[in-house]
Amino acid sequence: MSFALEVNNVSKRFEIPHLKINTLRGAFVNLFQKQSYEKFDALKDISFSVKKGEFFSIIGKNGSGKSTLLKIIAGIYTPDKGEVKVHCPLSPMLELGIGFNPELSGRDNVFVNGLVLGLSKKEISDKFKDIVAFAGLERFIDQRLKNYSSGMAARLAFSVMIHSDKDFLLIDEVLAVGDTEFQAKCTEYFIKAISEGKTIVFVSHGLDPVQQYSNRVMLLHKGEILEIGEPQKVIQTYLEKCN
């Protein structure tokens, strides 16, 4: 069996400081005090695999570990334990702010992000109009990204990602950031990507697209895998046990 992704016994722990310091005076007063931390296990011994050409969705409540897991797969975080093996070229579209510079224009961010994803400058230039048109940002492409709404920036990031033509896509909540027209474009793209045999790992709180497109679904709860399996069955578990 040919896998696009293998995640083996991955764990990730964060240390959350108990004392929040908001002022310079507070920092000085607490300079010589020992800081205390709360340990938070975001992921606990996670293991699963995704086959090439599979549409694999991850669901769970906020704080279940979904975004942490995607950042580990994308190489943004390093696991404290375990390993991740990615067997084909990966293109991630994660939360707003990762890979984009708010001080640059939308145009410049397209080129910078495209280069990061492995496209040449000529390839980006050739695809530029299509990237901007898919995002629906023709009027705003020369504005600085910091003046974009979160939805506009996420649409641009998604458009750059899908035009990078990678075989493996990592997508976090893209359907939550666009209007009806953009969501229709995403739906059309998903259908095309599935027909082309692309591998997609998709995180969403929207259960309709998860049920519609997924081959399998994984349910995370408090950093652990609660269930992996057929979409309707896993979604039912989520509705019964996690809400």
Q: How would you write the chain as a 3-class SS string?
A: CCEEEEEEEEEEEEEEECCCCCCHHHHHHCCCCCCCEEEEEEEEEEEEEEECCCEEEEECCCCCCHHHHHHHHHCCCCCCEEEEEECCCEEEECCCCCCCCCCCEHHHHHHHHHHHCCCCHHHHHHHHHHHHHHHCCHHHCCCEHHHCCHHHHHHHHHHHHHCCCCCEEEEECHHHCCCHHHHHHHHHHHHHHHHCCCEEEEECCCHHHHHHHCCEEEEEECCEEEEEECHHHHHHHHHHHCC
Quick one: pLDDT at residue 23?
Answer: 59
User: What parts of the chain have a pLDDT lower than 50?
Assistant: none
Quick one: pLDDT at residue 124?
Answer: 95
Looking at the structure, tell me whether residues 71 and 124 fall in a common domain. no
Quick one: pLDDT at residue 126?
Answer: 96
Looking at the structure, tell me whether residues 137 and 235 fall in a common domain. no
Quick one: pLDDT at residue 32?
Answer: 55
Looking at the structure, tell me whether residues 199 and 226 fall in a common domain. yes
Tell me if the pTM is above 0.85: no
Looking at the structure, tell me whether residues 141 and 77 fall in a common domain. no
Looking at the structure, tell me whether residues 66 and 161 fall in a common domain. no
Report the distance separating Cα 61 and Cα 19, nearest Å: 26
Quick one: pLDDT at residue 154?
Answer: 83
Q: Which residues have CB under 8 Å from 40's CB, separation 6+?
A: 13, 14, 15, 16
Residue 97 lies in a domain: no
Angle between helices 150-162 and 180-195 (to 10 degrees): 20
Quick one: pLDDT at residue 177?
Answer: 61
Quick one: pLDDT at residue 34?
Answer: 62
Report the distance separating Cα 69 and Cα 224, nearest Å: 11
Instruction: Name the token pair of 88.
Output: 């084909």
Number of domains forming the structure of the chain: 2
Q: Which residues have CB under 8 Å from 88's CB, separation 6+?
A: 4, 52, 166, 167, 168, 199
Looking at the structure, tell me whether residues 56 and 151 fall in a common domain. no
Range of the domain at 3: 1-20+37-88+167-243
Looking at the structure, tell me whether residues 153 and 173 fall in a common domain. no
Quick one: pLDDT at residue 243?
Answer: 72
Quick one: pLDDT at residue 206?
Answer: 82
